[in-house]
Structure 1
Amino acid sequence: MTKIIGLTGGIGSGKSTVASYIASKGVPVYIADDEAKKIMEREDIKQKIQNLFAESILNSDNSLNRKKIAEFVFNNPNKLQELNAIVHPEVQLHFTNWVKSHENYPFIVKEVAILFETGGNKSCDKVILITAPEEVRINRAMSRDNLTKEEILVRISNQYSDEKKKKMSDFIVDNIDLNDTFLKIDKILKILAKS
């Protein structure tokens, strides 16, 4: 039975960099956010999302205006819940099929930003949490995502604190120095390969 290893961390923690590193080691990695974005562009899902909002959330090319959606949902927890209720079951279905196609591996990694917040950790055999000091996370996210400090702080406030996540995680990697982080990940992968 293929084990499911959850990989999570708040905005700017560096979990995507860690996910890429794990994938480079030959471990199948499922990036839930990437798959969610693809699913959200499906016509049937796009229509359900549009129905949540009074004004159009589509760009002129009929793609979703993600910035507009983010502005709506990150300031309105109910809308965020409604959006997640449309997208998450679809992602879960896609993931289940993806796991079946990788069942010859001893374990796979599922990278999810809001793993605990959605209860996704319950279907994981182990969870790796990537952390970093808040200032570091803010600076990384500002330079990467072209967001303001205020926008990042709103996103951080919509996620569980690292303190809360640490209590529910099996492995905690403080990601400040990347070489050090990769060494810690190598050790974790060895432990997972043996278990």
Structure 2
Amino acid sequence: MTILGLTGSIGMGKSTVAAMFADAGVPVFDADATVHQLQGPGGALLVAIEARFPGTTGVEGVDRAALGRVVLGDDAAMRALEAIVHPAVRAERAAFLDRHADAPLVVFDIPLLFETGGKRAVDQVVVVSARPEVQRARTLARPGMTPEKFDAILARQMPDAEKRARADWVIPTDVSLDDTRAQVARVIACTRAAQRR
């Protein structure tokens, strides 16, 4: 099995590329979706998060806006949250690998792959990238996003240029969907060809 780590900064189009891998038949572990599940209604992390950050959870799960106000810009609070979330995500990822043990290729969709040391868990890294003005426009179009929040999120992420420099593959998303899909197909084909050698 080859494990591709898929990453990219906020607004780069990573979810679109992950869906393209899935459409091509490659199993994809979505770290963000896993976090949403763990923090959603009845989620396994609610008790621990509420104990550490009182008033940030309810019947609908974690109140992401309230939690964001507490942890964004506070390194100690962010580390405390990560200490709750990351071990649970790793356990879910291990279960995913067990379910797909026979797959020749899988993708770990991990937004903070480099920032959290996730590179050690993958064989190759795919970075999704777009021009800064495209990234900003996409991100600010999201509900509830503000320029200040965008800047705070970017400050916690490795710069795009550094991610691209560390990548085995870079997939652009500021091109047509067909062009992006062709790049995804190229990564899959090259990876499978390397496995046969």
TM bin (shorter chain):
over 0.9
Cα distance in 2 for partners of 1:89, 1:167 equals 28
Structure 2 residue aligned with 1:76, among 63, 74, 77? 74
Report the CA distance between 1:63 and its aligned residue. Answer: 1.9
Q: For 1:122-145, what per-residue CA distance to the aligned partner results, in whole angstroms no more than 9, with x for missing partners?
A: 110001000112221111112234
Long gaps (5+) in structure 2: none
Cα distance in 2 for partners of 1:20, 1:168 equals 23
Q: For 1:98-135, what per-residue CA distance to the aligned partner results, in whole angstroms no more than 9, with x for missing partners?
A: 11110111010010110111100111000100011222
Cα distance in 1 for partners of 2:142, 2:56 equals 24
Paired residue type of 2:102:
N
Is structure 2 residue 115 aligned with structure 1 residue 117? yes
Is structure 2 residue 68 aligned with structure 1 residue 47? no
Q: For 1:168-195, what per-residue CA distance to the aligned partner results, in whole angstroms no more than 9, with x for missing partners?
A: 2100122201222111111111011112
How many residues of Structure 1 are paired with residues of Structure 2 in the alignment? 192
Report the CA distance between 1:46 and its aligned residue. Answer: 1.2
Q: For 1:28-87, what per-residue CA distance to the aligned partner results, in whole angstroms no more than 9, with x for missing partners?
A: 01110100111124555212112222x41124x352101111121112111111101111
CA contact (8 A) 2:43 2:61 kept: no
Aligned to 1:30: 29
Q: How does 1:85-124 map onto structure 2 within 5 Å?
A: 85-124=83-122
Aligned to 1:169: 167
Is structure 2 residue 180 aligned with structure 1 residue 181? yes
- Percent identical among aligned pairs is 29
Structure 1 residue aligned with 2:141, among 133, 140, 143? 143
Per the normalisation by structure 1, the TM-score is: 0.92
Cα distance in 2 for partners of 1:145, 1:171 equals 30
Long gaps (5+) in structure 1: none
Paired residue type of 1:49:
I
RMSD: 1.5
Cα distance in 2 for partners of 1:114, 1:51 equals 25
Paired residue type of 1:50:
E
Paired residue type of 1:134:
P
